[in-house]
Chains A and B, each alone.
Chain A
Amino acid sequence: EAGVTQFPSHSVIEKGQTVTLRCDPISGHDNLYWYRRVMGKEIKFLLHFVKESKQDESGMPNNRFLAERTGGTYSTLKVQPAELEDSGVYFCASSPPMGFNYGYTFGSGTRLTVV
């Protein structure tokens, strides 16, 4: 079984540019989550999809962040325009239906550096 795949693994962009991160969850996992870890700080929740619907987006920092999960399969997280404070590691995770009874499977993350 393939794990959670994230692309790209690293991205370096200039302030003001746009970056799109992609996450492919485990097939059959209805729940998809985005988290972010800024250097040395806690891992913060961004949002949660159930299939194609946004279940909880309370962690999205501002309207420069846009997440989509068309068709309930892979998800994208777009940052536009990127700011310096957006630098960090963005993790995607997925879990089966009734996900709170299971651990999450995380991808390896995308390290975003905004310069």
Chain B
Amino acid sequence: SQQGEEDPQALSIQEGENATMNCSYKTSINNLQWYRQNSGRGLVHLILIRSNEREKHSGRLRVTLDTSKKSSSLLITASRAADTASYFCALSGNTPLVFGKGTRLSVIA
């Protein structure tokens, strides 16, 4: 399958804790992207990491990419209730973005 697979499917944490989500894939990629979807809303692009990059930061987000293991992780530090959403990794190769099934994150205040 071309799509990424996020792990875990669901994650529940307390506000202030860190949340880590993982994405594994099987194909070669140009870049890997992470998106967030709040309930009832569209997808929001969070961060893009290119295949020749290993780590990238954006605010409270930290993304790593290991192309040898074909895996990526998204770390959200100091989580907030507003971070409650579904998070998707998306693979960019020679075709339009292919999305995984997502990780449902619940941050409890």
Q: Name A's B-contacting residues (CB within 8 A).
A: 4, 6, 33, 35, 41-45, 48, 56, 91, 93, 100-109, 111
Contacts and interface: CB of A to CB of B under 8 A. Distances in A.
A55 B35 CA distance: 23
Interface in B63-95: 88, 92-95
A103 B99 CA distance: 13
Contact of A101 (B31, B35, B40, B96): B31
Contact of A56 (B48, B88, B96, B100): B96
B38 to A, nearest CB: 10
A42 B98 CA distance: 10
Interface residues of B, number: 24
16 contacts: A33-B96, A33-B97, A42-B3, A42-B99, A42-B101, A45-B99, A56-B95, A100-B92, A101-B31, A102-B48, A103-B35, A103-B45, A104-B97, A105-B45, A107-B42, A108-B41
SS of A interface (majority): strand
Given A42-B99, A106-B35, 12 more contacts: A35-B99, A43-B88, A45-B97, A100-B31, A101-B31, A102-B48, A103-B33, A103-B48, A104-B33, A105-B45, A106-B42, A106-B44
Interface of B: 3, 30-31, 33, 35, 40-45, 48, 88, 92-102
Nearest to A45: B96
A106 B3 CA distance: 19
